[in-house]
Amino acid sequence: MKPLLAIIGTLALCLGLQGRGSAAPGLLARMAQVNPELHSYTATLHAHVVLTTFPFLATDLTGTFYHKDPDLYKLEITSGLPGIASQFSKLYPHIEPASQWKRVFAVTIVSDDGRHTIFRLVPRKRGNVDHIDAVVDDRSATVASMRWNYVNGGWATMNDTYATIDGNLVVTSQTGHVEEPAYKGNITSTLDNYVFNPSLSDAIFQG
């Protein structure tokens, strides 16, 4: 189940990057100001995960995604993996929001065609991720897609679709693909049942 864990982690990492964002410094500032009155939320995640290499596993997952400012995120899988759901419940996928990018990453601009700006994010602390390429929509200042490039030669992509719900611009669906040396997989997901600005204890994000 380790490949599935990586795929689900990729999904939730991308969720953590929504923000309001055509000069790139100004775009980063705009990204940090999307949904200025939104400080916490929960949402229900419905995901379909398919491994296209052995063991050729396909499964449907349901979970709850939590966010609390400034940078707390958690995905808790609640059903879809009999016998090992508790392993996914302990998953703590995390990436800093756009307002924190420069603190966590060395940020450079790859290109800006007037419609989309591509940022390259290189982690300041060395780990499994070599760099991330984030494609940002210049008009809406939201992350349209991301590509994680791993030090082992693997990579993963995620594409986001947004909608405005109760005045907040949020991710409502995603598609993604993962290629690691030992496996390949695809994921499609939707998010609904958003609850905005609930009172969330920090304890939710621990463990």
CATH of the domain at 104: 2.50.20.10
27-59 pLDDT tens trace: 999 999 999 999 999 999 998 888 898 878 888
Looking at residue 15, its pLDDT comes to 61
Looking at residue 36, its pLDDT comes to 93
Q: How far is CA 32 from the centre of its chain?
A: 16
82-124 pLDDT tens trace: 544 444 444 444 567 888 899 899 999 999 999 999 999 999 9
Question: What's the rounded mean pLDDT across residues 172-181?
Answer: 91
Given a contact cutoff of 8 angstroms between Cβ atoms, the answer to whether 185 and 51 are in contact is: yes
**What total of structural domains would you count in the chain?**
1
Looking at residue 79, its pLDDT comes to 83
Output phi, psi for 135, to 5 deg. Answer: -95, 120
DSSP classification of residue 153: S
As a whole-number percent, the residues of the chain with pLDDT over 90 amount to 54
State yes or no: pLDDT of 182 exceeds 70.
yes
- The CA distances from residue 126 to 90, 105, 131, in Å, are 23, 10, 10
The structure tokens listed for 114 are 């007037």
Question: What's the rounded mean pLDDT across residues 184-195?
Answer: 93
Looking at residue 161, its pLDDT comes to 96
Range of the domain at 23: 2-205
What's the mean per-residue pLDDT of the chain?
84
